[in-house]
Structure 1
Amino acid sequence: MPKPFKKTYKFAAYTSTYITLFLTLVMGVFFYVQGTSSYWFLFGFVVVCYLFSFFIIQFRVQKFIYKRVVKIYEDVRLLDAATFSPKRVTTDMETLTKEVERFAENKKLEIESLKVRENYRREFLGNISHELKTPLFTVQGYILTLLEGAMKDKSVRKKYLQRANKGVERLIYIIKDLDMITKLEVGDLNLNEEDFNIIELVQNVFDLLEMKAAKKRITLTFDVDYEDSIFVYADRERIQQVLTNLIVNSIKYGVKDGTTEVSIEEFVQNKVLIRITDNGEGIEKENITRLFERFFRVDKSGSRKEGGSGLGLAIVKHIVEAHKEKIYVESQLEVGSEFSFTLEKAK
């Protein structure tokens, strides 16, 4: 809350007193020289002179300050003169100065925020152009090679068309993820919430990613044997996407002969906490806060070799938040990472 202006009249009161004393003295000398004495007239003169001086000075100084402050607003261009009302201007210069400084500080913060957004926008455009142009140039290269004569060789033709198709599939993958994250950010994605067994869903994801994990000799496992089912209330398809993205990341950044472990435990009130823990590369502390940004990659060169749109974790965060739940990250470099999120238990 801004500090309110004090309605002060000190400046006008003191100045009016000095003017009145001076003019009264002059009038007294004049009466003395003339040899006349009119105390009632002199008293009336004092009252009228003081009141007239007081109101004129108070009004004119306020108007003078207001004009000068507006001029400062226009010259500095950090402040919007339209936000400053003449009703708020008094002769209390200390409070006025603090108010102007407060306006300046607020506008400075707004400008800094805009600069951060502009930098983010530039980085985002640079990332998306890179993500799109890589498969586009790949597809274009194979097609041009075929058009220049390689089409006549059936074996080369088939191989190049298959590689071009992979490039097109990657483009489609990126565009689908962009479309999804746009819907998530504007709240245009409807959730089909239902009761389902989260243990069974995790096992399904393990089965889908078994071959991918086997290539790096990574073991996908639960922390314990869950004999009883644990039912949650959420969108089954979206939560499967969350689990898939998180486990794929643990495989992508995992070490050979490593482990990706999933645990489900009771959380506060009617919540369960799903943890995905690995003993992979880990994440540097300064990168953790940026993990959920679109196209942000911890290891840009390595992760691109593994594929992906660079939007996986951003989508994960939006899906979890669309369920009005929380997602957490803990990681230590060369030790491993743990991603966890909450879900509502089925009633």
Structure 2
Amino acid sequence: MLSVLRQPQSHPDPMSLSPRFIAFILALLISLITTAFLSFVVGVTRSMQFVAFVASSLSSFFLVLYAVDILVFREVNKMYRTIHKLKMKDFNITPRKRLFKESNPLKTINDEIFVFVTKKQKEIDELKKLELFRREFLADVSHEFKTPIFAAQGFIHTLLDGAMDDEQVRERFLRKAAKNLDSLDVLVKDLLVLSQMETGDIKMNMAPVDLLQLTFNIFGRLEHIAGSRNTSLKVKPDNLEAVWAMADQDRIEQVLLNLIENAIKYGHDNGKVIVHFSENKKSIEISVRDNGPGIPQEHLVRIFERFYRVDKSRSKDRGGTGLGLAIVKHIINAHDTKIAVMSKPDKGTTFSFKLEKASTQPLSDAHATENPS
């Protein structure tokens, strides 16, 4: 490994000497060697040796000082200033006083190059990750689009090739083609929403929202899916009358709908899904828990990626675009909070997040609560 990539050491470095001190030491050594050599020459007196010592000392001192200070140190200092300016521009790093006070520019520039190369390597690693993500995303998008398009295309071409004359076949194939096109439409809409959220084009309309009533409404919408799997839907604690939080109602409904629907689809038959609310002085914590097969530990860090599926074959059978959890994550982040997931094999999965507690509820709802009709 090159020396510039080595971590700078904190112990004293002989290279941290000043140019004058280096020039003095070298001049002294040259003078001593010259005088010692003249002592072996016949006829050279002590006065001649003294003159030679002084002359060689002075000349060597100034020559070495010029060579080290002007030809080396000053040029290296120029390199250091250039690198430091480039680093400051790229990374906006606060200047470190230790580097400016360092007397040896060779050591200083070595430290600077180490920091610079380290940060550039991190950038390169991040770019490689983004490139890998881009390739995977393009492959996933192509696959997701290809499936409904080819299916609808096959049904329509079959009808055009003569099957249209059979009324029963015509209706069945048109329904299948329409179903695939509807899936494609949902996929495109989800991609559009995700793109708008990532670019910040969609703004959150924050207002007091009754999360309890919202959850019951979602239970009603998903009743047929839960019934087909004999899954019970419950809210905990049992004695809640309302749960008011600050949120964008449409977006937080999308979050709860996705999490509850996933819990039903990917849980066990005859299972249960529990939406639990807990609150403190400032926030409401919402958790959606199922008692399904759980998510393997190695998949937990990736389940919020676009089109990522733990079990691709099962996920395809259960429907969905593969973008639901990615949209959920962006919506929760837009509410200045984060979503967490905990899962154990055969013990179920829990998604949880917090929302700011609403200080007051809407006047119309408060009036209706006080004066029920």
Give the TM-score, by structure 2 length: 0.78
Structure 1 pair 95–196 and aligned structure 2 pair: CA distance change class (3 A): closer
Displacement of 1:264: 0.9
State whether residues 193 and 233 of structure 1, in contact with CA within 8 Å, keep that contact through their aligned partners in structure 2.
yes
Whole-angstrom distance in 1 between the partners of 2:17 and 2:200: 48
State whether residues 16 and 54 of structure 1, in contact with CA within 8 Å, keep that contact through their aligned partners in structure 2.
no
Displacement of 1:186: 1.4
Match of 1:159? 172
State whether residues 3 and 95 of structure 1, in contact with CA within 8 Å, keep that contact through their aligned partners in structure 2.
no
Displacement of 1:301: 0.7
1:299 aligns with 2:318: no
State whether residues 288 and 350 of structure 2, in contact with CA within 8 Å, keep that contact through their aligned partners in structure 1.
yes
Whole-angstrom distance in 2 between the partners of 1:51 and 1:24: 18
Displacement of 1:14: 3.4
State whether residues 173 and 309 of structure 1, in contact with CA within 8 Å, keep that contact through their aligned partners in structure 2.
yes
Displacement of 1:121: 1.4
Q: Secondary structure at the match of 1:308?
A: coil
Q: Among 25, 50, 59, which residue is 1:14 paired with?
A: 25
- Cα deviation code 1:223-265 (max 9, x no counterpart): 2323421211111111100000001110111111000011111
Q: Among 258, 265, 270, which residue is 2:282 paired with?
A: 270
Q: Secondary structure at the match of 2:310?
A: coil
Whole-angstrom distance in 1 between the partners of 2:287 and 2:49: 97
Q: Secondary structure at the match of 2:245?
A: strand
Match of 2:58? 47
Whole-angstrom distance in 2 between the partners of 1:156 and 1:88: 85
1:338 aligns with 2:350: yes
Displacement of 1:64: 8.7
Whole-angstrom distance in 2 between the partners of 1:144 and 1:157: 11
State whether residues 8 and 111 of structure 2, in contact with CA within 8 Å, keep that contact through their aligned partners in structure 1.
no
Q: Among 134, 137, 142, which residue is 1:124 paired with?
A: 137
Moved more, 33-42 or 319-328: 33-42
The amino acid of 1:231's aligned partner reads W
Displacement of 1:33: 3.9
Across the aligned residues of Structure 1 and Structure 2, the Cα RMSD in angstroms comes to 3.5
The amino acid of 1:204's aligned partner reads N
Q: Secondary structure at the match of 2:274?
A: strand
Whole-angstrom distance in 1 between the partners of 2:28 and 2:258: 79
Q: Among 125, 148, 151, which residue is 2:161 paired with?
A: 148
Whole-angstrom distance in 2 between the partners of 1:251 and 1:213: 6
State whether residues 11 and 91 of structure 1, in contact with CA within 8 Å, keep that contact through their aligned partners in structure 2.
no
State whether residues 73 and 105 of structure 2, in contact with CA within 8 Å, keep that contact through their aligned partners in structure 1.
no
State whether residues 268 and 292 of structure 2, in contact with CA within 8 Å, keep that contact through their aligned partners in structure 1.
yes
- Cα deviation code 1:260-290 (max 9, x no counterpart): 01111114x4100111110011001111111
Moved more, 105-114 or 35-44: 35-44
Structure 1 pair 119–326 and aligned structure 2 pair: CA distance change class (3 A): same
Displacement of 1:49: 3.0
For structure 1, the 5+ residue unaligned runs are 71-78
Structure 1 pair 89–144 and aligned structure 2 pair: CA distance change class (3 A): farther
Give the TM-score, by structure 1 length: 0.84
Match of 2:183? 170
Displacement of 1:117: 1.7
Match of 1:194? 207
- Cα deviation code 1:85-138 (max 9, x no counterpart): xx9998676665555444444333332222222211111111111111111111
Moved more, 54-63 or 206-215: 54-63
Whole-angstrom distance in 2 between the partners of 1:315 and 1:7: 59
State whether residues 146 and 160 of structure 1, in contact with CA within 8 Å, keep that contact through their aligned partners in structure 2.
yes
Match of 1:223? 236
1:245 aligns with 2:258: yes
Structure 1 pair 90–30 and aligned structure 2 pair: CA distance change class (3 A): farther
- Cα deviation code 1:60-95 (max 9, x no counterpart): 34479799x99xxxxxxxx99x769xx999867666
Match of 1:328? 340
Residue pairs, 1:79-98, within 5 angstroms: 97=110
Structure 1 pair 55–187 and aligned structure 2 pair: CA distance change class (3 A): same
For structure 2, the 5+ residue unaligned runs are 1-6, 89-99, 360-373
Q: Percent identity?
A: 37
